[in-house]
Chains A and B, each alone.
Chain A
Amino acid sequence: MNKSKIGVIKLLVILLAVFASCEEEIIVTPSLITEEVIYLSGERVRLLGRVITTQNVNANDHGFYVAENEAFNQPLIISLGEKTTPGRFIGETEVLNIESTYYAKSFINVGGEIQFGNVLQLTTLSPEVQSFAPNNGPVGTIITLTGKNFTSDTRILIGDRPAEIQRIEFESRITAKIPTAGTAPRENVTVIVQGKEIILSQQFEYTTGAFSKLANPPSSIRLNENIFFQDNEDLYLGLGSDGNQSLNSKIWKYNLGNEQWTEASYQGDPLWLAFSTNNFFGGGAKEVIAPYVTSRDFWKIQNGNFEKLPDLPFESIESLSFETDENLYVIGGLLGRNTFKYSKSSGEWASINPIPFSANKSDLHFTHKNKLYVTNSGDKQIFLFDPETEAWSLFSTYPGDIVSGSGFGVSIGDRVYVGMNNRSLQVWELNMISGNWVKKNDFIGTPAARNVGVYSNAGFIYLVRRLGATGILEFWKFDPNGL
């Protein structure tokens, strides 16, 4: 054989061996998918992407592009850093604008070459407020707003004052602290989300009720278990005891105009635990200590003068009393649950339906539109007495503290204000139209006192309070709508 031919064959065999042993490296291009939007709110989006490949990726960076245009000009880049293995990845951003359309796509940067996934379109959601509670309370009340798609810059205004936002949970529940009050008790609640103002249909009502202390009555006036009544701007109180064991035979008058305390011209006997209305008083006892020596004295008050009427046909100690245009009613007391009606026109007394539970004048009670409302101290239930039918019926339940007696109840317009039993600072407002109870600001003085005189004038309530066992009197003015 020709040597050259053998050489060629050898060369071919060698080349064949060389090329046959070289395995070409297969480069697999990973597939990149922008799978779905797994969370979308007003400002936040979470995107799910996936790298599908059979081998490691060794990417320098991966993540998402988000932009307001499909061309992805000036995109927001969610960079998740290096990625070596295939699989899912999640990116999040929370700097989007509400109610805006965006485009998003996943990316992967391998060796400087950026590969993109498919494009998803998304529209950020609108914020909405559904409710808030409580809708009333004092300064510093923590309110909770529920809604959806709140952003991190959400602000809440009460009137024009910002409430301190304490927490935003899942972009849908905000807790905030009510700021100091403005000039009005009821204020609009405004929620501002990325500049979008949402004014709630429901207003926030500040707890109102301002107490101011007036000059004390003269120290010579010391009272307990007394009577009180009112004739326009003249406020009367007296009789009862002096706080010790001595009866008091005097009645004093305070004039709201000249702010002077003077002694009224009462010439009758002292009465202890007598009943009183603005036009009548009577009954009670002639001695401070038990056993009671009852009095049947019965007096009419007219223009600051006192006229003695025929004696009561019954005994009465610490009875409740109220009057309508036609009648005076004397109810219950320490001697039983009997109820008596006095006709102003005929001067006749009649016995009517007894009160369904034991009550006396220290139990929380008030009158409104010629009807009497009395609280059963045992269960806080308020019973209504309707003079038209002379029947008692359950009306409501007092939400405040009863503790012990001597609270006050005053009706002004369609609202009734009750509270401040002995050792209780609470005052409550009852809307007689809606039946809603709203707590007022607490009394700012000492709770260990009893109301010995309660009056109202020009929308204000005046309270004379006896401090503990000392018998010293304080004089307070309460503005139910004061801030």
Chain B
Amino acid sequence: MNMLKRLIYILLIIPISCIDPYKIDIPQGAQLLTVDGFITTDPGPHLIRLTRSDTYGSVFEGLIRPVIRATVGIRDSEGNVTFLNELANDGIYATPEGFMARVGVSYSLQIDLQNGKSYTSLPERVESVPQIDSLSYQSVKFNTNDRLTDLIGVQVFAHFRDPSDQTNFYYWRNGPSTFVLVANPELHTLSPNHPTNPRGPDPKDCCATCYVQDESRIQRFTLASDDNFNGLSQRLPVLFIEDDGLRFKQTYRAEIQQISVSSDAHRFLRLIEQQTNLTGSVFDNPPANIRGNIISLDDPDEVVLGYFMAGSVDKKQVYIEKNKLEFLQTPRIIPDDCLTVSGAQLSPPSDWNP
């Protein structure tokens, strides 16, 4: 009897321990044309990037491929077409030298692909943008999930007066920023594999300070519309620069671009912002493809991703000094010549004027 019971238990355990992997059949995603382009009133070159989307999955599931050898033009409302030149068979098309958008003119993007398909964008009208009166900054500190580490950085504020006679949609983004990179060449040590004095002191005479352009992979941006402040002077936070232990060791120069965009572009950017801020919580907006303003002229039902924007821009720079910051991240030490850091150079940019 006992034997029978044991046999029953064993037979019960066997099927329980077997797990069938659950295979999810992800439908093959369409390779959608994706357009990423922005022209402004700044002298170019302005870049239009054409790619094809692919199925989301593992690294090699689908590769985002550039759309090459397309004929790309920007047409204004007067019929003038500016043809763009492909830079290097990488799907990036640049406006010719001297091209800049004009306030009051509408622009649309025209694309003819090698496969004979044609696309156009809805026209984007360039509205004037109020000047940035000044930029200010403030040191800020936030709690994070890690109790031992706070998020420390600098919040940059734009001061401007919103015009009362027009509806404005604002888009701020950071331009090329530069900072003084402080290194400690006097702390340089010999290689761990040094035959006689591994890790022994080997101070260098040069160089302690360099200038580096801050290369951020992520384009940070802020949006606002003047629904709540039409015609009023404003001080709005437009950029947060995280202190990574290197940026604020001496002086950091941030460039803020204040851009006016159309209401449709503003709505598109707002949706992008929502999608990029998804945290995975139940309160998130559902992920979705955001429809842009590009239309297929051969098949109106074809889904085309991306948006072609046109806007006027005003820029200003602010020099952020270390001694004016209340919170600072623990400094990172570079025990070497600062020129060993990629992109570092000894002389400051020609317009460096802190």
Report which A residues bind B (CB closer than 8 A): 36, 38-42, 46, 48, 89-90, 92, 125, 128, 148-149, 169-173
Contact = CB atoms under 8 A, between A and B. Distances in A.
Contacts of B300: 89-90
A174 B72 CA distance: 15
A48 B122 contact: yes
Contacts of B83: 169-170, 173
Contacts of B79: 40-42, 125, 128, 148-149, 171-172
Nearest to A125: B79
A169 B71 contact: yes
Nearest to A128: B79
A38 B81 CA distance: 15
Interface string B103-122: 00000101010000000101
Among A36, A40, A172, A173, max chain B CB count under 10 A is at: A172
A183 to B, nearest CB: 36
A89 B110 CA distance: 19
A173 B295 contact: no
Contacts of A89: 300
A41 B300 CA distance: 20
Contacts of A172: 73, 75, 79-81
B153 interface: no
B146 interface: no
Contacts of B78: 125, 148
B122 A170 contact: no
B123 interface: yes
Nearest to B76: A148
Given A38-B108, A90-B300, A169-B112, A148 B123 contact: no
A475 to B, nearest CB: 50
A39 B108 contact: yes
Given A170-B75, A173-B83, A38 B123 contact: yes
Given A90-B300, A171-B79, 19 more contacts: A38-B120, A38-B122, A38-B123, A39-B108, A41-B79, A46-B120, A90-B295, A128-B79, A148-B78, A148-B81, A169-B71, A170-B71, A170-B75, A170-B110, A170-B112, A172-B80, A172-B81, A173-B81, A173-B83
The A contact surface, by secondary structure, is strand
Nearest to A167: B71
Nearest to B293: A38
Contacts of A173: 81, 83
Contacts of A171: 79, 81
A171 B108 CA distance: 14
Interface of B: 71, 73, 75, 77-81, 83, 108, 110, 112, 120, 122-123, 295, 297, 300
A245 to B, nearest CB: 58
Contacts of A48: 122
B56 to A, nearest CB: 27
Contacts of B75: 39, 170, 172
Among A38, A90, A170, A171, max chain B CB count under 10 A is at: A170
Contacts of A128: 79
A148 B120 contact: no
Contacts of A41: 79
A102 B253 CA distance: 54
Contacts of A169: 71, 73, 83, 112
A120 B178 CA distance: 50
A125 B80 CA distance: 11
A184 B246 CA distance: 72
B81 A39 contact: no
15 contacts: A36-B123, A38-B108, A38-B120, A38-B122, A39-B123, A41-B79, A46-B120, A92-B297, A125-B79, A148-B80, A170-B71, A170-B75, A170-B112, A172-B73, A173-B83
A149 B110 CA distance: 14
A46 B295 CA distance: 12
Nearest to B83: A173
Contacts of A170: 71, 73, 75, 81, 83, 110, 112
A129 to B, nearest CB: 12
A151 B81 CA distance: 14
Contacts of A92: 297
A103 to B, nearest CB: 19
Nearest to B106: A38
Contacts of B80: 148, 172
8 tightest Cβ-Cβ pairs between the two chains A and B: A172-B81, A148-B79, A149-B79, A170-B73, A125-B79, A170-B81, A170-B110, A148-B80
